[in-house]
Structure 1
């Protein structure tokens, strides 16, 4: 949504549907992440991102690059602190960017981790997001 100056400040976090009060854990942070998107997320949830959770979290933001290895392993690790009704936003470099992750690998990784691929979101110039959820039968 454009601001008064025509920019789309906060558009990435808006696309993720994050609201105040959500406990959001961040995994896979690196020097290449989109710091503006991270700030937007913290503004949207009105809190800091969690790195080590002491209780179940509502959302996991997982930054993943092709060089990080098997995406299924990363997704399984991301499930550790996720509440039964929570979901994962898997953030990967966009097509043509360094460490781009092939969509087939994402789909296979999600299936292996027991997750369903939900809606994608365009969140920044260099990163795309894919929402991953537990299948309905597995949620309580």
Structure 2
């Protein structure tokens, strides 16, 4: 494996916005997830990813989502349950041309319906694209 291939998951974790000390709750884990990216996120944050049953406050949520996983709006709303104020959600979807690909418009619609907006999409790893969802900034007067 080349050096750039080895660092790809680490740089993907950073580009997604994760930082040291964050508690990350993970939804949608399955056999197709990118374990190198998961481990890179844990290395970067210094904490293990928490599963869907986690009951405390999370600094961010990681959602692995595929086209046949159901209603993305429901998935995003569920992810908001333990999310700290000012925190964010990352929706990871299979890249275009791969089984389970989700259209960007579907992610945008789910974010808007859940009261969020997209704040960027990154190439997270070989097979997955990450889209950050954040709460709209309040209007200052």
Normalising by structure 2, report the TM-score. 0.90
Q: Paired residue for 2:38?
A: 38
Q: Paired residue for 1:49?
A: 49
The superposition leaves residues 3-39 of structure 1 with CA deviations (integer Å, 9 ceiling, x where unpaired) of x944451121121232211011111101100011001
1:117-128 aligned within 5 A: 117-128=118-129
Following TM superposition, by how much is the alpha carbon of 1:72 offset from its aligned partner in structure 2, in angstroms? 0.6
- After TM superposition, the structure 1 stretch with the greater mean CA deviation from structure 2, 105-114 or 87-96, is 105-114
Normalising by structure 1, report the TM-score. 0.90
SS across alignment from 2:129? strand
CA separation in 2, counterparts of 1:61 and 1:6? 24
What is the root-mean-square deviation of aligned Cα atoms in Å?
1.6
Q: Paired residue for 2:26?
A: 26
SS across alignment from 1:119? strand
CA separation in 2, counterparts of 1:17 and 1:109? 20
Gaps of 5+ in 1: none
CA separation in 2, counterparts of 1:30 and 1:102? 20
SS across alignment from 1:128? strand
Following TM superposition, by how much is the alpha carbon of 1:121 offset from its aligned partner in structure 2, in angstroms? 1.2
Q: Paired residue for 1:96?
A: 97
Q: Paired residue for 1:77?
A: 78
CA separation in 2, counterparts of 1:66 and 1:86? 25
Gaps of 5+ in 2: none
Q: Paired residue for 1:12?
A: 12
CA separation in 2, counterparts of 1:60 and 1:46? 15
